Structure 1
Amino acid sequence: MAALSIDLYLASSSPRRRELLAQLGLRPRLVAAEIDETPAPNESAEAYVTRIARAKARAGWTTLSAPAQRPLLAADTAVVVDDRILGKPVDAEHALRMLALLSGRWHSVLTAISLLSAATDPERPRGSDDGTPGGQPPREHRVLVRTEVRMRPIGRHEALAYWASGEPRDKAGAYAVQGRGAIFVESLRGSYSNVVGLPLFETAGLLREHGIDPLAGEPAPTP
């Protein structure tokens, strides 16, 4: 049980999510979760992040050996303005356009979390071939978190200097609230860690439902 209190699977390549889980004293074990993240036609931002988080979780779950002894967490975060999802910038001009769109106004950051754990169904024979570890579909808990962020006006020269720092290159919305991008953030309503990539309050609540208490035992070393 001690190992379960500090360990879970993480279906994500995001170093920021791994670092945030380490803040809770957890040692995430990374698993592959390759999926198509193309938005569906007319799909809302809420529906998109929820669908992608679930798809990541299920893709990661199928890679686990049976039976899965630890829960698996997956998440997806989107920066949204005017009902548009802002992805990662492909080049400097793309980043400048996104920062100009965010400049001097509010936008939303949405994160969907999907947490899977092994379930035992006494009426379902073990070894059923449904593509899940142990032959049984996992239990799933989901949550969707929204944070509102207001940016101060951002001049083009500032946006160019920010791009030159290298920080925006792999960040949705072309900024990082946990880095230099914080100088643009005038106000924030909701979870700060959600804007970084994983809302820790809600994540801890889901983990407790699955038998993992981040406050139990000694903190695990940072991965």
Structure 2
Amino acid sequence: MLKNLPPIILASKSPRRQELLQLMGLDFKVVLREVDETYPEGLTPTEIAVYIAEKKAKAFDEVIHEEIVITADTIVCLDGKILGKPENEEHACEILSDLSGNRHEVITAVCLLKNHQLTSFYEVSEVFFKTISEEQIRHYISTYAPMDKAGAYGIQEWIGLVAVEKINGSYSNIVGLPTQRLYEELQKLVD
């Protein structure tokens, strides 16, 4: 159990990230600030995720005092190409069709802001999808509406149960926060 933690702010509207922090036994409040998530050209996917997570944290630098702010950004990559959140159901179908039968990477970068200091890190998890039919893809999209998810799916949902053959790396990272690493980094801030 982490002791002597100052108040924690989670700067994310993701219910999955909120649930993960609750499961970690952390007390936190959710505070949101609008941040432009554009990034400079030429960055690698991991650099993009870190850049955006840090940009989200910097939006709090002048308004926090004792708190630790946790921000994150998750990117799904297939063959080096970033697959963002789907624009509509057809786009979600295209993304999931591309993932079908392939290996992709999920990168989550996390930034901790405390006392005007940024601590950033990221984890990369590999996800192996079995081949799935268009009917299965359409069932998933119509039932779970994954429009708010990078890569158009949530591993904790139906599609993760039936289509994911295996993963290499952190499961919680794929959900949205690399919890084991986050725990270690929070511990370092209070030691």
TM-score (norm 1): 0.79
Q: Which residue of 2 aligns with 1:95?
A: 92
Question: CA contact under 8 A between 1:105 and 1:152: conserved in structure 2?
Answer: yes
Task: Say if 2:189 is the partner of 1:192.
Answer: no
1:28-83 Cα shifts (integer Å, max 9, x gaps) = 2122231111343333211110100000011123333xxx1121111111111121
The 1-side partners of 2:80 and 2:173 are apart by 18
Higher alpha-carbon deviation: 69-78 or 27-36: 27-36
Q: Which residue of 1 aligns with 2:107?
A: 110
Question: CA contact under 8 A between 2:11 and 2:31: conserved in structure 1?
Answer: yes
2:135 pairs, out of 157, 167, 186, with 157
Q: Which runs of 4+ in 1 moved over 4 A?
A: none
Unpaired stretches in structure 2, ≥5 consecutive residues: none
Q: How far off is 1:90 after superposition? A: 1.4
Determine helix, strand or coil for the equivalent of 1:168. Answer: coil
Unpaired stretches in structure 1, ≥5 consecutive residues: 119-137, 213-223
The 1-side partners of 2:151 and 2:13 are apart by 18
| TM alignment of 1:41-190, pairs within 5 A | 41-64=41-64, 68-118=65-115, 138-182=116-160, 183-190=162-169
The 2-side partners of 1:181 and 1:39 are apart by 30
The 1-side partners of 2:33 and 2:7 are apart by 18
Higher alpha-carbon deviation: 39-48 or 12-21: 39-48
The 2-side partners of 1:53 and 1:146 are apart by 15
Q: Which residue of 2 aligns with 1:206?
A: 185
The 2-side partners of 1:3 and 1:62 are apart by 26
1:139-179 Cα shifts (integer Å, max 9, x gaps) = 22111110000000011111111111033222111111011
Q: Percent identity?
A: 37
> Structure 1 residues 154, 6: CA separation in 2 closer, same or farther (over 3 Å shift)?
farther
Q: Which residue of 2 aligns with 1:31?
A: 31
Q: Which has the higher contact order (CA 8 A, sep 6+)?
A: 1
TM-score (norm 2): 0.92
The 2-side partners of 1:81 and 1:165 are apart by 24
Q: How far off is 1:96 after superposition? A: 0.9
CA RMSD of aligned residues (A): 1.8
Rg comparison, structure with higher value: 1
